[in-house]
Amino acid sequence: MITLTGKKVSEGIAIGKLTFYKREGKEIRRIYVKDVEKEVQRFQKARQKAIQELKVLYDTAAKEVGDANAAIFEMQQTILEEQTLVDRVNSIIVEDKLNAEYAIQTVISEYLSNEDTENKIYTPGHDVDVKDVANRLLRVLSRSWKDKMLMDEPFVMAAGELYPSEAVQLDKNKVLGFVTRYGTINSHTAVLARTKGIPSVIGLGEALKKDYDGKMIVVDGYEGKVYIEPDYTTLTKMKQKQDTNVTHVKNLERLKGKENITQSGQRIDICANIGTREDIENVIRSDAGGIGLFRSEFLYMENGPKLPTEEQQFQVYKLAAESMGVKKVVIRTADLGGEKQADCLDVGHESNPTMGMRGIRISLEKEEVFKTQLRAILRASVYGNVSIMFPMITAIEEVTRAKLLLETAKRELKAEKTAFDEDIQIGVMIETPAAVMISGELAREVDFFSIGTNDLTQFTLGMDRTNDKLGKFYNSHHSALIKMIRIVANNVHLEGKKISICGDLAADLDLTETFIQMGIDELSVTPNQVLALRKKIREIQ
């Protein structure tokens, strides 16, 4: 038995024969052309055909994995429509008198190797999407190119790396799981694997040899491990794990559509936390009551050196609002700083960033950036049940200044005759002891609270939650923390407002009953934790 370790991207157990994906290609040769105008037209026709194919792929993907995940292929269309790319390819064809295939390969290689991220034609970190687009263009030009994956029986697929357009078309009835040599856990391919529920492990490196083709393989998507020709003990253990998981998932699936209510009749809402636009579809699949925490900072962190525009942000917030319908969407303004750094927003060097420029502090220092985000959220508010939440609040003055900027954004939109929800609700995160102590006053300034237990715990205990050496001291059930949550809940309820918990403790089933007894109105967890939490609530006497 050979054991390989990679990165887990989609949970589950897959057992079957390993088959390598054969992405056939034609060698791209440098060929001189006499009629450059004809070659330019050939490139343009191929580009238009590729765009049309992506539109069809978007429609197909939207039906299976939802609009949010299908948006990957809209982004790929944008790459093909990027004038810089088109002009550069045309330039090589016309000036160097070279064939379209060679010109495309040259331009794509230039962009992928270009370290100047500011001039890239795509979001940094998504090189595989550019390769996917180039592959499609070259296939159209070659006409006869076809990828081979001919198997009568279900199998486990292996590849160097898998492109998003390939991942979205995987047939779950045929592809039991997949493993790759390369790839990142946040890639579009990984997101699609999770959405489709295909057990996957990526980043196995050169240890994933083609010699293993046809051999029995077990993919453990829970641990990020792969077993080639597993021994009897391992195979038996993995089959048991697979059976247990199937039973567990089926039992949880039966809870969809059920109420989050204890046996004594106490009700509590369950919403979901999201960190990317692709997560929106997972919220719908989880049967959550809405989006309790939309971590908007990802829009900044994934945008390279350029700030996300108002339009970019609006489109993502609008998608979330429309996808949720009447269900709530709580958009937390960018909680940058600390471990969440964005290239587009330089806050300077800090010796202790966790205690430095973070959350609302950055927003109030960079008012124009903040106002751009507020305008985008307000514009999206007419498409659903949207509210705004400010992070890392420590003083009433911070809330006052944030609300004044929100009013400025509202006045600008009114002057432009742009619609928005005039009565949009405003909330704050309770993440510091300071916010706990002034929670009564804060409750008179805003419409709702959400307790971020991750930061509240580390600030209360004075311990870095990411420091492994502090594990034996770090107590997320510390009595001081529980008392703080109770104080905040009492203060907010005295003002007739609502309170949720959106940190890791929201999914801690050992505390669920305690939170219900406190009168917490909502728990917001990751989409895949929604049904397990519902099960726990329904079992409480």
pLDDT tens track for 215-231: 999 999 989 999 999 99
219 strand-pairing partners: 14, 226
Q: What is the DSSP string of 252-270?
A: HHTTTT---B-TTS-B-EE
Question: According to CATH, what is the number of the domain 36-142?
Answer: 1.10.274.10
Q: Give the SS3 label for residue 159.
A: strand
CA–CA gap between residue 326 and residue 318 (Å, rounded): 13
In the numeric block, which tokens belong to residue 218? 């077990």
CA–CA gap between residue 338 and residue 353 (Å, rounded): 5
pLDDT of residue 531: 93
Question: Of 292, 294, 288, 290, which is closest to residue 274 (Cα–Cα)?
Answer: 294
Q: Give the SS3 label for residue 3.
A: strand
Could you tell me the pLDDT band of residue 122, with boundaries at 50, 70 and 90?
Answer: very low
- CATH topology for 258-539 is TIM Barrel (3.20.20)
CA–CA gap between residue 114 and residue 118 (Å, rounded): 10
Query: For 275, what's the count of Cα atoms within 13 Å in the CB-facing half-sphere?
Result: 11
The answer to whether the annotation marks 455 as part of a ligand binding site is yes
CA–CA gap between residue 94 and residue 282 (Å, rounded): 47
* Residue 121 predicted with pLDDT over 80: no
Check if CATH label 3.40.50.150 holds for domain 2-23+148-231.
Answer: no
For 58, 107, 126, 132, 193, the CA distances from 164, given in Å and listed in that order, are 11, 21, 10, 7, 9
Would you give the end-to-end CA distance of the chain in angstroms? Answer: 48
- Which active-site residues does the annotation give? 188, 502
449 strand-pairing partners: 428, 499
CA–CA gap between residue 507 and residue 526 (Å, rounded): 8
For 102, 112, 134, 316, the CA distances from 109, given in Å and listed in that order, are 11, 5, 10, 30
* Residue 339 predicted with pLDDT over 80: no
- Higher-confidence residue of 321 and 349: namely 321
φ/ψ of residue 86, rounded to 5 = -60, -45
Would you list the domain boundaries of the chain? 2-23+148-231, 36-142, 258-539
Percent of all residues in the chain with a pLDDT value above 90, rounded to a whole number? 57
Which region, left, alpha or beta, applies to residue 15 given φ > 0 means left and ψ of -120 to 50 means alpha? beta
Q: Are 39 and 93 in contact (CB under 8 A)?
A: yes
Q: Which amino acid is at 153?
A: E
User: What's the whole-number mean pLDDT along residues 47-67?
Assistant: 85
Helix, strand, coil shares, percent, the chain, to 5: 50, 15, 35
φ/ψ of residue 342, rounded to 5 = -125, 130
Q: Which amino acid is at 180?
A: T
* Residue 466 predicted with pLDDT over 70: no
The answer to whether the annotation marks 220 as part of a ligand binding site is no
pLDDT of residue 410: 97
CA–CA gap between residue 197 and residue 249 (Å, rounded): 11
Q: Which amino acid is at 179?
A: V
Could you tell me the pLDDT band of residue 116, with boundaries at 50, 70 and 90?
Answer: very low
pLDDT of residue 160: 87
For tokens 């429509």, name the residue: 81
In the numeric block, which tokens belong to residue 362? 């950055």
User: What's the whole-number mean pLDDT along residues 287-305?
Assistant: 89
In the numeric block, which tokens belong to residue 139? 């296939």
- Higher-confidence residue of 298 and 124: namely 298
CA–CA gap between residue 30 and residue 93 (Å, rounded): 11
| pTM of the shown model | 0.69
Geometric angle at alpha carbon 12, from 9 and 18, rounded to 5°: 85
* Residue 50 predicted with pLDDT over 60: yes
Ranking 129-143, 263-277, 429-443, 518-532 by mean pLDDT, the lowest is 129-143
- Higher-confidence residue of 290 and 188: namely 290
pLDDT of residue 368: 95
**Which secondary-structure segment (H or E) carries 69?**
helix 36-81
Name residues whose C-beta falls within 8 Å of residue 125's C-beta, 6 or more positions apart in sequence.
184, 186, 302
DSSP 289: S
- Higher-confidence residue of 413 and 23: namely 413
CA–CA gap between residue 222 and residue 15 (Å, rounded): 14
- CB neighbourhood size of 35 (10 A): 10
In the numeric block, which tokens belong to residue 271? 């919403």
Computed over every residue of the chain, the mean pLDDT equals 88
Mean pLDDT: which of 134-148, 205-219, 234-248, 397-411 is highest?
397-411
Q: Are 236 and 214 in contact (CB under 8 A)?
A: no
Our measurement of the distance from residue 163's CA atom to the centroid of its chain's CA atoms, rounded to an integer in Å, reads: 17
Question: Of 480, 467, 402, which is closest to residue 436 (Cα–Cα)?
Answer: 480
The answer to whether the annotation marks 30 as part of a ligand binding site is no
pLDDT per residue over 124-175, tens digit each? 446 788 888 888 888 888 875 554 555 568 899 998 888 888 887 787 778 8
The answer to whether the annotation marks 454 as part of a ligand binding site is yes
pLDDT per residue over 72-113, tens digit each? 888 888 888 888 889 999 999 999 999 999 999 999 888 887
The answer to whether the annotation marks 431 as part of a ligand binding site is yes
pLDDT of residue 383: 95
pLDDT of residue 5: 92
For 192, 197, 218, 425, the CA distances from 12, given in Å and listed in that order, are 14, 8, 10, 39
Q: Which amino acid is at 59?
A: D
pLDDT of residue 144: 57
Task: Provide the residue count of the chain.
Answer: 541
Q: Which amino acid is at 260?
A: N
Query: For 74, what's the count of Cα atoms within 13 Å in the CB-facing half-sphere?
Result: 10
Ranking 148-157, 336-345, 502-511 by mean pLDDT, the lowest is 148-157
Q: Where are the beta strands (DSSP E) in 275-322?
A: 290-295
CA–CA gap between residue 59 and residue 40 (Å, rounded): 29
The answer to whether the annotation marks 367 as part of a ligand binding site is no
pLDDT per residue over 168-207, tens digit each? 778 777 889 999 998 877 677 777 777 777 899 998 999 9
Name residues whose C-beta falls within 8 Å of residue 151's C-beta, 6 or more positions apart in sequence.
19, 174
Q: Give the SS3 label for residue 17.
A: strand
- CB neighbourhood size of 113 (10 A): 8
